[in-house]
Amino acid sequence: MTSRENRCVILNARPVGVPGPEFFDVVSRPIPAVGDGEFLVRNLYLSVDPAMRGWVNDAPNYSPPVPVGDVMRAIAVGEVIESRHPDYMEGDRVCGTFGWQHYAVSDGDNVMRKLGPDEAQPSLALGVLGLNGLTAYFGLLDTCNPQAGETVVVSTAAGAVGSCVGQIAKIKGCRTVGIAGGPDKVAMCLDQFGYDVAIDYQNTTDLGAELSAACPDRVNVYFDNTCGPISDAVFERLALHARITVCGTASLQEWEPIPMGPRVHRQLLVARARMTGFLVHDYKDRIGEAVTQLTAWIDSGDLVSREHVLEGIDQAPGAIQMLYRGENTGKLIIRLD
Amino acid sequence: MTSRENRCVILNARPVGVPGPEFFDVVSRPIPAVGDGEFLVRNLYLSVDPAMRGWVNDAPNYSPPVPVGDVMRAIAVGEVIESRHPDYMEGDRVCGTFGWQHYAVSDGDNVMRKLGPDEAQPSLALGVLGLNGLTAYFGLLDTCNPQAGETVVVSTAAGAVGSCVGQIAKIKGCRTVGIAGGPDKVAMCLDQFGYDVAIDYQNTTDLGAELSAACPDRVNVYFDNTCGPISDAVFERLALHARITVCGTASLQEWEPIPMGPRVHRQLLVARARMTGFLVHDYKDRIGEAVTQLTAWIDSGDLVSREHVLEGIDQAPGAIQMLYRGENTGKLIIRLD
């Protein structure tokens, strides 16, 4: 047991929309005692994910909102430093919902997976070998079943999820079209993530025309992380029997009241297309399968990922806003000292 | 060969929205000669279907629009009265896209199916044993896979498709909630089609509240024939892993420009729901399976249907508008003398 205190990030009020740093306080709390059937994790890296906006807002979502006054919910990867749990030993590395804090006590329920001894870079468990990679893997392959030769369009194409989606689609023999914001991200799409075409939605006068040029046979698969005008342009170009994964709605600033947009019903009907809301938590029983495959693709060089590392927990309160502003250049994580 | 002339309904201009009678002329034309590999059908009943609006509008759709000056595209059931085709004999009864006319020459490509000798009521091939029944069968069972105990909501619940959907869902052990317009249709839903609850959307001050009361466990399956405000209210009440079939968009008066409405992305995401555009033509290889099952349900009394019969081809031009006004009280068909 360590004598250090537990620095943690507390939600101090209920935000609407993307929470800025003013909604969080960094405070010190005692490290909780480890009870029977529990273990203590020292976090090494904390994750910053788009989903965190949903976790703090009091709108219908897939999990109840983080209570005001609680440690901010977050995925983290860390090392077990004390254990009274039969399945976890001191020295085990684990990834789970341990929160934005240095130390977390767990009974195992919030563990996503234990890292293997060969995983040299534990931070990957927050990205390409974590929620991002799993989201890309199942959200693309299971929900959209892309076929060789099909055109796959990805929004937030250079992001932590999008970049994996594009590369997995490429591995499957698809033509990949990425939509990203700004010349740097477009360059990343082309140079690092192997997209056949990358469109800079921030610097185009006609996104629709660029999409049409990039997708002469229309869009077979659309992996949607944004909703909003980007999504609207893609929906006008669906191929017959198109499949759409709704993975995120990054472009919508607020959900209450529900934002208006073009009705997609007719577009889905005419194309006999399928639009599916996706959440990776529904696939927790198949994590092993995906990690094995993703690791093989990383080892073969077919799947690359980038990290954007912030130093220290004091960076956490501003990190969600940074993500929604698109200021990160890779999977956004916080390294703890 | 008969010496009678062929009275037919011609599209005389390109409509926008629901075509009224002014867009059609009833004219007489010669009966075409029957070539090698062709046969002549004398139509007995003509169908009036919501899809006809899409067939005449020049908007993106699943089939090219009917050319101005052509006989209006329509499903019909008739009798082969002359044949130079090896697969069709004089006396065969056939259902197909024979158009709003008394006589049609076919090479077999536009035949949906041949009627069996036991089919005592050939008009059913336009309804419960035709596109309507097939649409309900595949659109509900194949696309939504309803499970016993689930709540199934149907819009245009008393209509030709909707009434079949509700009854098939009931056969499968679901709780069925129908949405229909006016007290007569609500009574039909409850008395004839076995809905557990029927909601009159034309006479409610709060459709959402009525839906919430009717669906205490939210909505597992939604068979959507309307889009618009009815659909919006249902989408606010989706259960986890809900399935939505988009079968029609009857409540939308126009599609160009694309109408605005609440964005469904977030609702689909939170519920991890699936929304699928459905067109029965994609199931033409499985018609036999459905007709066999639907016939068995009709014979057992589990599946009932109603017809609304108009007399004579002169009724055809106003029939699509009648359908969209909801003035019919069953599958709308035209009997030819």
B252 contacts on A by Cβ (under 8 Å):
263, 265-266
> What is residue A214's three-state secondary structure?
helix
Question: What Å distances lie between residue B73 and A10, B15, B64, B110, B128, CA to CA?
Answer: 65, 14, 11, 11, 20
Average pLDDT, chain B: 95
Tokens for B206? 């709060």
CA distance B317 to B332: 13
- CB of A173 within 8 Å of a chain B CB? The answer is no
Whole-structure pTM value: 0.90
B192 and B216 within one domain: yes
Assess if residue B97 is contained within a domain. yes
Q: Is the pLDDT of residue A125 over 90?
A: yes
CATH (domain of A263) = 3.40.50.720
Assess if residue A326 is contained within a domain. yes
Q: Give A56 to chain B, closest Cα distance, Å.
A: 14
pLDDT value of residue A234 = 98
pLDDT value of residue A1 = 38
B223 contacts on A by Cβ (under 8 Å):
none
Assess if residue B296 is contained within a domain. no
The interface predicted TM-score of the complex, written ipTM, equals 0.89
Residue A101, Cβ neighbours under 10 Å: how many?
26
B222 and B95 within one domain: no
Residues of chain B with pLDDT under 70: 1-3, 60, 62
DSSP string, A38-100: -EEEEEEEEE--THHHHHHS-SS-SSPPPPTTSBPP--EEEEEEEE-STT--TT-EEEE---S
A265 and A170 within one domain: yes
A265 contacts on B by Cβ (under 8 Å):
224, 227, 231, 246, 249, 252, 277
pLDDT value of residue A16 = 86
pLDDT value of residue A58 = 82
CA distance B251 to B268: 21
Task: Give chain B's domain count.
Answer: 2
CATH (domain of B21) = 3.90.180.10
Assess if residue B292 is contained within a domain. no
Assess if residue B317 is contained within a domain. yes
* CB contact burial B224-246 (16+ within 10 A = b; e otherwise): bbbbbebbbbbbbbbbeebbbbb
A315 and A273 within one domain: no
A271 contacts on B by Cβ (under 8 Å):
277
B178 and B55 within one domain: no
End-to-end CA distance of chain B: 17
Assess if residue B35 is contained within a domain. yes
Enclosing H/E stretch for B220: strand B219-224
B58 and B156 within one domain: no
Residue for token digits 């909505």? Answer: B219
Band of pLDDT at residue A254, cut at 50, 70 and 90:
confident
Q: Is the pLDDT of residue A3 over 60?
A: no
Beta strands in B48-136 (DSSP E): 76-83, 93-96, 103-106, 111-114
Band of pLDDT at residue A2, cut at 50, 70 and 90:
very low
Enclosing H/E stretch for B178: strand B175-180
Tokens for A214? 């990039």
Secondary structure of B226-293 as H, E, C letters? CCHHHHHHHHCCEEEEEEEEECCCCCCCCCCCCCEEECCHHHHHHHCCEEEECCHHHHHHHHHHHHHH
- For residues B132 and B280, the answer to whether their CB atoms sit within 8 Å is no
Question: What Å distances lie between residue B189 and A40, A54, A234, B230, B330, CA to CA?
Answer: 60, 40, 39, 17, 11
Residue of A155, A249, A266 to mutate, testing the B interface (most B Cβ within 10 Å of its Cβ): A266
A247 contacts on B by Cβ (under 8 Å):
269
Average pLDDT, chain A: 95
Across the interface, whether the CB atoms of A274 and B278 are under 8 A apart is answered: no
Closest Cβ opposite residue B272 in set A264, A272, A279? A279
Nearest CA in chain A to B64: A270
Q: Give A17 to chain B, closest Cα distance, Å.
A: 14
Helices (H), chain B: 51-56, 131-136, 143-144, 160-171, 183-191, 207-214, 228-235, 265-271, 287-300, 319-324
A185 and A271 within one domain: yes
A263 contacts on B by Cβ (under 8 Å):
227, 249, 252, 258-261
Q: Is the pLDDT of residue A82 over 50?
A: yes
Assess if residue A101 is contained within a domain. yes
Assess if residue A291 is contained within a domain. no
pLDDT in tens, A178-220: 999 999 999 999 999 999 999 999 999 999 999 999 999 999 9
B160 and B107 within one domain: no
A261 and A146 within one domain: yes
Give the range of the structural domain holding residue B323, as residue numbers without chain letter: 6-127+305-335
Across the interface, whether the CB atoms of B272 and A265 are under 8 A apart is answered: no
pLDDT in tens, B211-229: 999 999 999 999 999 999 9
A276 and A153 within one domain: yes
Q: Which residues 208-227 of B are in CB contact (within 8 Å) with A? A: 224, 227
Nearest CA in chain A to B248: A269
- CB of B269 within 8 Å of a chain A CB? The answer is yes
A82 and A210 within one domain: no
- For residues A14 and A65, the answer to whether their CB atoms sit within 8 Å is yes
Across the interface, whether the CB atoms of A260 and B263 are under 8 A apart is answered: yes
When pLDDT is averaged across residues A264-270 and rounded to a whole number, the result is 95
* Residue among A294, A277, A274 at smallest CA distance from A286: A294
- For residues B105 and B34, the answer to whether their CB atoms sit within 8 Å is yes
CA distance A195 to A187: 10
Across the interface, whether the CB atoms of A246 and B252 are under 8 A apart is answered: no
A147 and A114 within one domain: no
Band of pLDDT at residue A329, cut at 50, 70 and 90:
confident
pLDDT value of residue A216 = 98
- For residues B261 and A263, the answer to whether their CB atoms sit within 8 Å is yes
Q: Which of A281, A297, A313 is the last residue of a domain?
A: A281
What are the φ/ψ torsions at residue B238 (nearest 5 degrees)?
-70, 135
Across the interface, whether the CB atoms of B268 and A262 are under 8 A apart is answered: no
